[in-house]
Chain A
């Protein structure tokens, strides 16, 4: 079984985000890069499948040099090999371009299953894996919460509004995973040491035969801003019973949630 996992390195979610003076760029104070949290679930699921039937796990990423450390972590957690399409300008690519890059890499690998996180927590784009599957012409399921290999097919659950549905998936297929599908393992010290010796293969857009036209964005960012947040910050006072009464009368008068 050949399994590909799509990985993205993103700024730590606890970072402080600011708006640059030109109102176009996000400034991150002292950024530390981590694997996008949903990708951790994707990687764990891939390793679990590999452990149950044998096979190999290849992690694939498109990003700048910050992605290297995250790929290293993926190898330490249990991936067998890693491919990074390195591009210092990766951040300016839209989902349309990124998916073409990743699909071009995956075509050379012919995996049975592709796992990816349901979204990356930096741009929250929610589209790259599904686009990759469409480009490759394989079936896909999003936000999977349970994945069980059953011989040559798999059974998977996904959340839908107001419940979930169970699907039978035939391979090749791509699944994006939702939190709750598993508990990601931590890398052990020996595996961290071993991962240091594994090679991270680097590729360029040219090697993948992608032209500037193929990946040109069809979007421009006009500006970015901080969300409007005008909270009243009113701490109610008095004994608890009185505070509760005060709250209910505010809710009634302002017709909030009633």
Chain B
């Protein structure tokens, strides 16, 4: 019996992949199963070294320059075969956009249950997971009663823990050729200087209080100083001030940074659905009655155009 960790492929190993492997390691130890990992994607080269310390016994590697993006028609048959070959009982992936698609596909093929976006995973005579529902307003604690059991782990919540000796055995295999119905034309990496929202340790977010797209530089400067990612409320997105990829909330991204600085955001429940898991929340708003002040750690009542530049200046001093 073994556990299979899915290593997400984005040209480089993301911390979300290492977090999923850490969870898999912890479950493998508790359940006394061997840990197998699979990687499907462009050559990883020396990045494979970063997968040491997690107690992975074997990494099955399918490398090809042609597969830069998860293609379910290629990956799913590979995973299906591995499940039989290694007697896989548990599959653990990352709840990234691609990771969730892989997990859903393989779950269907195995007729297995799947819980996406887990924030806690444990083993007690079977796999257990905690998952936010209703946009994070409720946490559900669920047990699998059947195997194989599949979960994806929400990025940026669980720690990366290397606590085992030894390096995994690397098994390189030929990428199978599949004539696919969905062909990937190209991948565009957004040429943005910024940090990815879902992996960011600090997020500075702006709402309608920003007043217009011409004012983003006020927040961007603070982002640059703090190495933060720029987020936005839906009102700012719907007003056309910024692209939807920046939206945080129920119909945007769910983020969990160490520090979330909300500027000119009222704190609607749908916005909170996206940032509730932030470790520390700072609110800057000129309305002392704004809802955000009842769910933040530190609040400054004031005009963001006065507060943010001052904060940028202080942070620059502190960090230089």
Could you tell me the dominant secondary structure of chain B's interface residues?
Answer: mixed
- Assembled-state Cα–Cα distance A85/B163 (Å): 50
**Any B CB within 8 A of the CB of A240:** yes
Contacts of B252 in A (CB 8 A): 179
Q: Are B188 and A165 in contact (CB under 8 A)?
A: yes
Q: Are B138 and A248 in contact, CB atoms less than 8 angstroms apart?
A: no
B residues near A135, Cβ cutoff 8 Å: 108
B294 at the interface (CB under 8 A from A): yes
A256/B280 in contact, CB under 8 A: yes
Whose C-beta in chain B lies nearest to the C-beta of A135?
Answer: B108
**A103-142 vs B, Cβ < 8 Å mask (1 yes, 0 no):** 0000000000000000001111111001111110011111
Q: For residue B293, which residues in chain A have a CB less than 8 angstroms away from its CB? A: 233, 235
A159 to B142, CA, bound (A): 29
Which of B116, B258, B295 is close to A231, meaning CB atoms less than 8 Å apart? B295
A167 engages B184 (CB within 8 Å): yes
A contacts with B, residue count (CB < 8 A): 82
Residues of chain B within 8 A (CB-CB) of A252 are: 318
B141 x A222 contact (CB < 8 A): yes
CB interface residues, B 240-268, toward A, < 8 Å: 243-245, 247, 250-252, 257-259
Decide if B251 touches A244 in the complex (CB within 8 Å): no
State which residues 148-206 of B face A: CB under 8 Å. 149, 180-190, 196, 198-199, 201-202
**Chain B residues positioned under 8 Å from A245 (CB to CB):** 314
Counting CB contacts under 8 A, is B31 at the interface? no
A244 and B311 within 8 A (CB)? yes
* A190 proximal to B (CB < 8 A): no
Asked whether, in the complex, the Cβ of A165 is within 8 Å of the Cβ of B202, the reply is: no
- B276→A226 contact, CB < 8 A: no
0 or 1 for each of B113-132: is its CB under 8 Å from A? (1 = yes) = 11111000000000010011
Q: Is A62 an interface residue (CB 8 A)?
A: no
Number of interface residues of B (CB under 8 A): 100
Contact B134 A26 (CB under 8 A): yes
Q: Is A186 an interface residue (CB 8 A)?
A: no
Q: Which of B144, B297, B319 is the one whose CB lies under 8 Å from A233?
A: B297
User: Which of the segments A48-56, A65-73, A213-221 contacts the partner chain?
Assistant: A213-221
Give the one of A11, A138, A160, A162 with max B CB within 10 A: A162
**21 sampled A-B residue pairs with Cβ under 8 A:** A95-B114, A99-B108, A124-B134, A126-B117, A127-B104, A134-B72, A135-B108, A139-B180, A161-B196, A166-B187, A168-B183, A179-B247, A218-B113, A224-B140, A231-B281, A231-B297, A247-B298, A248-B314, A257-B201, A257-B257, A257-B258
Where the two chains meet, the residues of A that have a C-beta atom closer than 8 Å to any C-beta of B are 11, 13-14, 17, 19, 26, 37-38, 94-96, 99, 121-127, 130-135, 138-143, 145, 155, 158-170, 173, 178-180, 217-227, 229, 231-236, 240-241, 243-245, 247-248, 250-252, 254, 256-258
Among all A-B residue pairs, the 10 with the closest Cβ atoms: A257-B259, A218-B146, A134-B108, A130-B104, A180-B244, A131-B108, A127-B104, A218-B113, A139-B181, A163-B189
B interface residues (Cβ-Cβ under 8 A, vs A): 10, 14, 16, 69, 72-73, 76, 95-98, 100-101, 103-105, 107-109, 111-117, 128, 131-146, 149, 180-190, 196, 198-199, 201-202, 226, 228, 237, 243-245, 247, 250-252, 257-259, 269-270, 276-277, 279-282, 288, 293-302, 306-307, 310-311, 314-315, 318-319
